[in-house]
């Protein structure tokens, strides 16, 4: 949904109420934790956040608070949306003086223990999203190396006609999100001290 000014929380909630009853805009549900489809553009960002259980726990808490979206020009609404399959969330972005309200549904939650401990989730796009596809956010702690990584994997293609017209801008924004999301996660870990 394209808007000329930032929507109120009431407008966002009404938008999500309608969107949450609709079907996803793609068929490869859960493919970001398996094998992504080949007929979409793939984006992958993976960065080391630090080492140890304390870093893993801080990164996990940051994901649960949607801090990877606190970028100034992008945010998850509402920020207290629980990380549970079936939950709808709006991603609100601002660009070129306009606001974009995008609807998503959490389709997968990852919470695995073992030699590599993992926590994360994937959401898929609903009809009220500028794109079509899925994005996965994952924190991994490899106990053998003690390294903690933040991993984003997405497959997408334009859904809204303006996204098709401005595909170059859409791709640029997706790349920007990957870089800035990592920085937001690092800030969250630093703040957890």
Distance CA 149, CA 60 (A): 11
Who contacts 59 (Cβ-Cβ below 8 Å, separation ≥6)? 49, 139, 148, 150, 185, 188, 189
Q: Six-digit token pair at 96?
A: 């070129």
Domain count for the chain: 1
The domain spanning residue 173 has which CATH number? 3.30.530.20
The answer to whether the pTM exceeds 0.85 is: yes
pLDDT of residue 161: 66
| Residue 31 covered by a domain | no
pLDDT band per the 50, 70, 90 thresholds, residue 144: very high
Q: How far is CA 104 from CA 28, 39, 113, 140, 171, in A?
A: 15, 20, 27, 23, 19
Q: How far is CA 83 from CA 43, 87, 119, in A?
A: 22, 7, 10
Distances in whole angstroms, Cα of residue 92 to Cα of each of 55, 86, 130: 28, 19, 11
Per-residue model confidence (pLDDT) at position 146: 98
Give the Cα separation of 5 and 38 in Å (integer).
Answer: 36
Assess if residue 36 is contained within a domain. no
For the beta carbon of residue 154, count every other beta carbon within 10 angstroms. 23
Q: What is the DSSP string of 29-62?
A: TTGGGS---TTSEEEEEEEEEEESHHHHHHHHHH
Residue 88 lies in a domain: yes
CB-based contact 49:181 (threshold 8 Å)? no
> Range of 162's domain?
2-26+42-192
Nearest of 67, 59, 78, 164 to residue 118 by alpha carbon? 59
Sign of CA dihedral 186, 190, 122, 116: positive
The pLDDT tens digits for 59-116 are 999 999 999 999 999 999 999 999 999 999 999 999 888 899 999 999 999 999 999 9
* 149-189 pLDDT per residue, tens: 999 999 998 777 666 666 666 778 888 999 999 999 999 99
The per-residue pLDDT for range 12-65, each reduced to its tens digit, is 999 999 999 999 999 999 999 999 999 999 999 999 999 999 999 999 999 999
- Establish if 56 belongs to a structural domain: yes
Is 89 part of any domain?
yes
């Amino acid at each position: 949904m394209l808007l000329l000014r930032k929507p109120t929380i009431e407008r966002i909630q009404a938008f999500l109420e309608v969107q949450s009853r609709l079907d996803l805009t793609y068929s490869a549900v859960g493919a970001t934790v398996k094998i992504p489809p080949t007929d979409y553009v793939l984006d992958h960002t993976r960065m080391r956040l630090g080492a140890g259980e304390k870093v893993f726990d801080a990164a996990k808490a940051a994901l649960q608070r949607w801090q990877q979206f606190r970028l100034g020009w992008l945010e998850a609404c509402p920020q207290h949306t629980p990380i549970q399959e079936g939950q709808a969330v709006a991603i609100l972005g601002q660009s070129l003086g306009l606001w974009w309200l995008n609807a998503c549904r959490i389709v997968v939650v990852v919470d695995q223990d073992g030699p590599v401990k993992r926590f994360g989730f994937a959401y898929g796009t609903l009809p009220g999203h500028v794109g079509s596809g899925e994005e996965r956010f994952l924190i991994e702690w490899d106990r053998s190396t003690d390294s903690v990584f933040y991993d984003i994997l997405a497959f997408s293609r334009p859904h809204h006609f303006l996204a098709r017209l401005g595909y170059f801008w859409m791709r640029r924004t997706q790349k920007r999100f990957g870089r800035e999301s990592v920085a937001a996660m690092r800030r969250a870990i630093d703040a957890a001290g």
